[in-house]
Amino acid sequence: MFRYGRRMRAVQFIEYGPAGVVHVAEVPEPHAGPGEIRIAVRASGISAGEITLRSGRLRDVVPIALPYRTGFDAAGVVDEVGDGVTGVRAGDEVFGAASPARRGANADFTVLTAWAAKPAEWSWEEAGGAAGAVETATRVLDRLGVGAGQTVLIQGAAGGTGSVAVQFAVARGATVIGTASEHNHDFLRSLGAVPTTYGPGLVERVRALAPAGVDAVFDCAGGALPDLIAVAGDPARVVTIADFTAKAHGVHMSHGAPDAEPGGAAGAADPMAWHGLTTAVTLAGEGRLRVPVAAVFPIGEVAAAHELSETRHARGKIVLTT
Ligand SMILES: NC(=O)c1ccc[n+]([C@@H]2O[C@H](COP(=O)([O-])OP(=O)(O)OC[C@H]3O[C@@H](n4cnc5c(N)ncnc54)[C@H](OP(=O)(O)O)[C@@H]3O)[C@@H](O)[C@H]2O)c1
């Protein structure tokens, strides 16, 4: 079979800058190495973290090599199975994530290092944007020890990560208070959270909703750590994925990409929580986990997708189709 030398479309940027620097390039197809699979991508997620990387704002904190191929999570049909991989065959429908170092999921073909069977309940678009949010939600909720009977505050609960984290926390039996703009409060209720707004007065609003206190705070937004610490009563009960000032506040910043994104100001990386993919499949089958999709763009319109993400007001995941 002719395998090598074929080319495909992939999203990349070769310089830092605004959304317009991200574009589709013709590049060689990747191939599955040992322990990996390759998929023909049907849909892939836009990563808010990569948008910050593209802007150059983090260039001193998170060094990256250019050109940078974007995309961390994707869903599609398996067409290559690497040595040592069992339990999956060409033709299977899966969702999962690329290696954090290699990325490249916003493409016609991508190599996955973590995956699970695509739930029949999910569209391709939902599945394409799922894996990163599922892994992040699992990693942070595990670290916070969120479980039945607890109350957790999720800051930035209507976004791509927050909307999945709410459902995972609810599935663990926790009471979830989620922050979002008022027009997203019915959406948060539909996910199982008690909504409130972020911004001035947050501490008082949360105290009114949870007079007995909050056990843990999961910050998906950044910029409000003093308030979030006041809500939790202890910085050790707050974990952020979005605030690079965390260390100065004694708060853990969780990131799970040790090979590509050294901690820098952020601190040490946490182990990737890929067991969350299995939980996601179970919850999806029970009708308890959906992946809210804010917008879908064809791969050629990736710059518009980045622009929408940059507004920081998307409700759920932004997804590219190939
Ligand atoms: N470290 C990690 O492992 C990791 C993993 C994934 C993501 N991240 C980071 O986590 C952050 C969130 O990612 P995401 O994919 O969820 O992003 P996203 O989908 O773009 O988040 C959008 C949401 O943020 C909310 N928001 C905007 N400004 C806010 C504020 N000042 N306070 C509270 N909420 C606010 C918006 O709520 P309203 O529209 O309702 O106002 C919107 O629902 C990004 O910074 C991303 O880089 C880190």
State mean pLDDT over 231-253. 96
Kindly tell me the burial class for residue 311, based on how many C-beta atoms sit within 10 Å of its own C-beta (0-12, 13-18, 19 or more): exposed
Point out the domain boundary residue: 203, 236, 253: 253
Tokens representing 154 are 């999720």
Q: What atom in ligand 1 is closest to the CA of residue 266?
A: 1
Answer yes or no: do 22 and 105 share one domain. Answer: yes
Predicted pLDDT of residue 166: 99
Answer yes or no: do 122 and 169 share one domain. Answer: no
Tell me the pLDDT tens digit for each residue of 204-232: 999 999 999 999 999 999 999 999 999 99
Predicted pLDDT of residue 256: 80
Tokens representing 142 are 């595990």
Predicted pLDDT of residue 143: 96
Split at pLDDT 50, 70, 90, the class of 101 is: confident
pLDDT at 43 over 80: yes
Answer yes or no: do 138 and 237 share one domain. Answer: yes
Q: Rounded CA gap, 311 and 303, in Å?
A: 13
Predicted pLDDT of residue 185: 98
Answer yes or no: do 188 and 225 share one domain. Answer: yes
The residue among 255 and 281 whose pLDDT is bigger is: 281
Predicted pLDDT of residue 4: 58
Gap from CA of 162 to ligand 1 centroid (Å): 7
> Residue 259 falls within a domain, yes or no?
no
Residue to probe by mutation, ligand 1, list 58, 241, 243, 315, most atoms within 8 Å of CB: 241
261-278 burial, b for 16+ CB within 10 Å, e for fewer? beeeebeebbebbbebbe
Q: Rounded CA gap, 192 and 178, in Å?
A: 9
Predicted pLDDT of residue 266: 47
Predicted pLDDT of residue 264: 43
The residue among 4 and 100 whose pLDDT is bigger is: 100
Gap from CA of 244 to ligand 1 centroid (Å): 13
Indicate the range of 120-134, 215-229, 245-259 predicted with least confidence: 245-259
**163 in ligand 1 pocket by Cβ < 6 Å?**
no
**49 in ligand 1 pocket by Cβ < 6 Å?**
yes
Predicted pLDDT of residue 292: 98
Predicted pLDDT of residue 38: 98
Cβ proximity of 218 and 161 under 8 Å = no
Helices (H), the chain: 48-55, 124-128, 131-144, 160-171, 185-191, 202-209, 225-232, 275-285, 302-310
Start-to-end Cα distance in the chain: 24
> Residue 268 falls within a domain, yes or no?
no
Gap from CA of 178 to ligand 1 centroid (Å): 12
Cα 3–chain centre separation = 32
Answer yes or no: do 298 and 246 share one domain. Answer: no
Q: Rounded CA gap, 280 and 160, in Å?
A: 15
Rounded to 10°, the helix 160-171/275-285 angle is: 70
CATH number for the domain that contains residue 213: 3.40.50.720
> Residue 227 falls within a domain, yes or no?
yes
Mark residue 222 as left, alpha or beta (left: phi above 0; alpha: psi -120 to 50; beta: remaining): left
Point out the domain boundary residue: 253, 278, 307: 253
Answer yes or no: do 61 and 78 share one domain. Answer: yes
Predicted pLDDT of residue 175: 98
Of 36, 138, 126, 106, which Cα lies nearest the Cα of 301?
106
Predicted pLDDT of residue 267: 55
Residue to probe by mutation, ligand 1, list 161, 219, 253, 311, most atoms within 8 Å of CB: 161
Predicted pLDDT of residue 262: 42
Answer yes or no: do 125 and 194 share one domain. Answer: no
Domain that includes residue 201, residue range = 134-253
Answer yes or no: do 175 and 234 share one domain. Answer: yes
Predicted pLDDT of residue 307: 98
Answer yes or no: do 65 and 15 share one domain. Answer: yes
Predicted pLDDT of residue 268: 65
Predicted pLDDT of residue 301: 98
Longest dimension (CA), the chain: 66
Strands 68-69, 7-13: pairing kind = antiparallel
Q: Give the count of domains, the chain.
A: 2
Answer yes or no: do 27 and 77 share one domain. Answer: yes
Amino acid at 55: S
Predicted pLDDT of residue 63: 83
Split at pLDDT 50, 70, 90, the class of 263 is: very low
Tell me the pLDDT tens digit for each residue of 161-210: 999 999 999 999 999 999 999 999 999 999 999 999 999 999 999 999 99
State mean pLDDT over 55-61. 91
Cα 306–chain centre separation = 15
Predicted pLDDT of residue 279: 98
Point out the domain boundary residue: 253, 280, 299: 253
Predicted pLDDT of residue 259: 46
Answer yes or no: do 219 and 126 share one domain. Answer: no
CATH number for the domain that contains residue 89: 3.90.180.10
Answer yes or no: do 98 and 151 share one domain. Answer: no
> Residue 213 falls within a domain, yes or no?
yes
Q: Rounded CA gap, 203 and 10, in Å?
A: 44
pLDDT at 44 over 90: yes
What's the whole-number average pLDDT of the chain? 94
Tell me the pLDDT tens digit for each residue of 274-289: 999 999 999 999 999 9
